[in-house]
Amino acid sequence: MSTLYLLFFLLLIASLGSFLMGERGVRGRGLPSGSEWVVLGFVLGPSLLGVLNSQDLELFAPVSAVAVGWIALLAGISFGTDGARRVPLPRMALGLLSALLCGAVVALAVWATLEHLPAAGATLPGARDRLLVALGCGAALAASAQQAVRWAAVRLGARGPLTVLLGDLAHSDELVPIAAAGLVIATDTSRGLPAMPGLGLLLGAGLGLLTALLLGREMRRSWMWALLFGISLLAAGVAVQLDLSLLATLFALGFFAALASPLRSEVRRIPAEVEGTIVLPALFIAGTRVSLGETAILVVVAAALAARLLGKALASLVPLAASPAARRSGPALAWALDSAGPLNVAVGLAFQLRYPGPVGNTVLAAAAAAAVVGEFVGPVALRRALRRAGELSEPAASERHAEVAS
């Protein structure tokens, strides 16, 4: 009956997800990045309580693949836009540069840890595996959770140019982890299939254009759903079968479907309706698959987290240099975008599905830990930065006490 339990949990979480990530929920309940669901999955999973066992989780591997794919699809559909507003190109470049910087710092730190700390490199003796872990951690920890900025705007009522700037950066840095993970997976030939870099993007772009073509100007809801759902499943299945990057394929699919469709606002709105239904179960599944049993993993995760803090601090210099609004917030901006959310965890999960064993476990553990740590660091720093920039009102004394206590 354990499979039924898992299914039931997932459906329950999907239900809660829709509630929590809807407007009412954002205003009232749940952590900004939803990392509590990663923790819940970890607690109930085989690593801790064992309510759900490893065999059942393997049965749900296709569901995990769909969840990863949909997170990438949603990222692709909304890439470079914040609602109906397009993110200006210079800001997109800033966002990409920040993520690239942070990812590179993390990858280098993890590589150095694996090479120079025997305790960390014990389970990963091969150079290829070490490189994979370094690149995987770099990809998984590069981006920031856009949900955190949305949370600040919706729940805390932040208003002003810095809020918009941070929202823009968070809405345009997703390309870095997806491209990095895509490149790593597409060039890997360890499963006996030839390396086909770019094929995932090509497939996704082709299917995205096909989606736009078929959607035409047909406004019927069932038609749109059947096409979006059918094509995304087909794309995910083909990507898995040909050992292409699921993330890159689905991201390209979403991006091109939204770009080419005359109904782009509808295309963007419909998947967003199910965001919570998809995202929280995905975080839960990721949590169940996290394994922290080995010291080596813990050491690498600690190094990756420290490097992410450093990387985010360095990356914050980019907006500091470019925007007067950012300069007003001062050093508090360093970790304002430290929140890691669904996309970071999805990259970790994609690695774990593609590289079961020490490589995938380490990358997923790092992504999950970043989501949890980011939940403590990111929102606090973000709130402080926004207050210093005058975009968030000062809390009353009682609120300050509550904040300190929390």
Does residue 275 belong to the site contacting other proteins (CB under 8 A)?
A: yes
226 is a contact residue toward other proteins (CB under 8 A): yes
Q: How far is the CB of 110 from other proteins (least distance, A)?
A: 25
Residues between 336 and 375 that touch other proteins (CB under 8 A) = 353
CB 254 within 8 A of CB 77: yes
Residues 25, 60: contact at Cβ < 8 Å? no
Helix (H) or strand (E) holding 273: helix 264-273
Instruction: Look up residue 154 and give its amino acid.
Output: V
> Which CB atom, from 74 or from 334, has the smaller least distance to other proteins?
74
Near other proteins by CB under 8 A: residue from 51, 266, 298, 328: 266
Give DSSP secondary structure letters for 168-186. HHHHHSTHHHHHHHHHHHH
b or e along 25-37 (b: 16 or more beta carbons within 10 Å of the residue's beta carbon)? bbeeebbbbbbbb
Task: State which of positions 178-197 bind other proteins (CB under 8 A).
Answer: 191
Which of positions 98-127 make contact with other proteins (CB under 8 A)? none
Structure tokens belonging to residue 223 = 């038609």
Residue 273 near other proteins by CB under 8 A: yes
Question: How far is it, in rounded angstroms, from Cα 47 to Cα 70?
Answer: 26
Q: How far is the CB of 348 from other proteins (least distance, A)?
A: 17
- Choose one: 11-19, 118-126, 319-327, 372-380; the region binding other proteins (CB under 8 A): 11-19
Cα–Cα nearest to 391, from 333, 346, 351, 341:
333
Alpha carbons 30 and 146: distance in angstroms, whole number: 15
User: Shortest approach of other proteins to residue 107 CB, angstroms?
Assistant: 26
**CA distance linking residue 305 with residue 81, whole number of Å:** 29
CB of 349 to other proteins, least distance (A): 14
The nearer residue to other proteins, 22 or 331, going by C-beta atoms, is 22
**Cα–Cα distance between 373 and 355 in angstroms, integer?**
24
**Alpha-carbon gap, residue 31 to 322, rounded angstroms:** 30
The least distance separating other proteins from the CB of residue 268, rounded to whole angstroms, comes to 9
Shorter beta-carbon distance to other proteins: residue 292 or 328: 328
Q: Hey, which residues between 53 and 72 contact other proteins (CB under 8 A)?
A: 58, 61-62, 65-66
Contact between 264 and other proteins by CB under 8 A: the answer reads no
223 touches other proteins (CB under 8 A) = yes
User: Pick from 105, 141, 240, 389: which binds other proteins (CB under 8 A)?
Assistant: 240
- SS3 call for 263: coil
Q: What would the two tokens of residue 294 be?
A: 């080995």
What letters, b where the CB count within 10 A reaches 16 and e where it falls short, cover 221-256?
eeebeebbeebbeebbebbbeebbbbbbbbbbbbbb
Task: Please give the residues from 368 up to 387 whose contact with other proteins meets the rule CB under 8 A.
Answer: none
Toward other proteins, which CB reaches closer, 34 or 177?
34
Binding of other proteins by 234 (CB under 8 A):
yes
396 sits near other proteins (criterion: CB under 8 A): no
168 Cβ contact partners less than 8 Å away, ≥ 6 residues apart: 82, 87, 88, 91, 92, 94, 95
Nearer to other proteins, 105 or 148 (CB): 148
Tell me, what amino acid is at 241? Q
Q: Which residues pair with 166 in a beta bridge?
A: none
Whose Cβ is closer to other proteins: residue 21's or residue 92's?
21
- Number of residues in contact with other proteins under rule CB under 8 A: 72
Please give the Cα distance from 342 to 35 (Å, whole number).
8
Interacting span for other proteins (CB under 8 A) from 96-104, 136-144, 223-231, 374-382: 223-231
Q: Is 90 a binder of other proteins (CB under 8 A)?
A: no
* Residues of span 142-161 touching other proteins by CB under 8 A: 146-147, 149-150, 153-154, 159-160
